[in-house]
Amino acid sequence: MTDANLDAVAELVGLGLERREARWLVEEFLPGADPAGRTALAGATRRRLEGEPLQYIIGHWPFRTLDLDVDPRVLIPRPETEELVDVALGELASSASLAPLLLDLGCGSGAIGLSLLDELRSRGIVATLVALDESRDALEVARANARKHRITNVTFLESSWFAALDDSLRGRVDLIVANPPYVGEDEFAGLDPVLGYEPRGALVAPDADGVVGLGDLALIVREAPAWLRPGGSLVMEHGDAQRPALLALAEEAGFVDRRGVDDLSGRPRIIAARRPA
């Protein structure tokens, strides 16, 4: 960083930004001595001081191997979702398929599905992905991210969960991944107001089976077996209090090898389960 840029960082810290965020903004908007950069940096700083998430201001954010474009049409990909990708890769490693068919339900920015394709590609595995979302806006962002990373073996589909999937896919999918909305209505009201910048439809789900925010997760667990091939896996992210209900639902739906995985901070956030072989 040049002396001028270090001065700019100090200036932003003086205005109330954290040093780490100030550095990110300066690196993004003030790479050279261009005076237009100064105006962009001032605008970005104002937006951040007003509370907008840094990721939307910068407009892109790293997720595993990818630099994903993000804007208010999509959820900002979270670190715990990066861990979900590890669990999904582990499920695929123990499967026999050399050209797996993947389904990313509620793909948002494309974080999970596109990462899987990219990382499998680097291991010489050519997977095929169907990435769906009920939000047309989110699908536009995911498509742009696929183009940005030259990922072509993906079909994007506007669909409420499994509703618009072609029947020919029934019983053929190797892996279903999902990070659906799982925050209850009342719970949402008490959460960090910064979440108000993200699409509400990406976060809030109806209650089900007496569990707050379980509606979308429950629907997916119940319908997934019809789409998975024998031995295929379901991997989903969920909220802290939802694991027992989800494992019970997975058992009811006939899944085997059901397990919960904690995230790096020890919170119960992921379940994985297999359709019997």
Q: Under the rule (CB under 6 A), what is the footprint of ligand SAM? A: 75, 77, 81, 106-109, 111-112, 132-135, 138, 160-161, 179-181, 201-202
> Between 138 and 249, whose beta carbon lies closer to ligand SAM?
138
> Between 13 and 89, whose beta carbon lies closer to ligand SAM?
89
| H or E segment and range at residue 103 | strand 101-105
Number of residues in the chain: 277
> Between 112 and 245, whose beta carbon lies closer to ligand SAM?
112
Planar angle of CA 90, 159, 185, nearest 5 degrees: 85
Least Å distance, CB 252 to ligand SAM, is: 21
Residue type, 61: W
Longest dimension (CA), the chain: 63
> Between 41 and 114, whose beta carbon lies closer to ligand SAM?
114
Least Å distance, CB 75 to ligand SAM, is: 4
Least Å distance, CB 180 to ligand SAM, is: 5
> Between 8 and 203, whose beta carbon lies closer to ligand SAM?
203
Look up tokens 């990066």; give the residue.
Answer: 82
Q: Which of 28, 22, 57 is nearest to 43 (CA)?
A: 57
Least Å distance, CB 43 to ligand SAM, is: 26
In 3-state terms, the chain is what percent helix, strand and coil (to 5)? 45, 20, 35
> Between 179 and 242, whose beta carbon lies closer to ligand SAM?
179
For residue 180 the two structure tokens come to 């659906």
d(CA 46, CA 230): 53
| Cβ contacts of 240 within 8 Å, gap of 6 or more | 267, 268, 269
Least Å distance, CB 267 to ligand SAM, is: 16
Least Å distance, CB 200 to ligand SAM, is: 10
